[in-house]
Amino acid sequence: MRCRVQSVDTLRQIVHRVPRRFLFFRWGTKAIRQEISSSNPHTRIVWTEYIRLER
């Protein structure tokens, strides 16, 4: 018996910056976060990678 399963899915990826805060002041960058969501509820995202290229 041979079984072949194919699935097409859409991923939404958002990369955003988290600013540093002190009282009401914001300055600099505390962290860069990456959030990924899938339109298929049965999909499990195991690993993601963010690569930043600078000149």
Q: Is the pLDDT of residue 2 over 90?
A: yes
Specify the pLDDT at position 16: 87
Q: Give residue-wise pLDDT tens across range 11-54.
A: 898 888 888 888 888 888 888 888 888 888 888 888 888 777 78
Task: Give 1's pLDDT tier (boundaries 50, 70, 90).
Answer: very high
Specify the pLDDT at position 20: 86
Q: 51: Cβ–Cβ under 8 A, 6 or more apart, which residues?
A: none
**Do 39 and 32 meet the contact criterion of CB atoms below 8 Å apart?**
no
Q: What is the pTM of this model?
A: 0.55
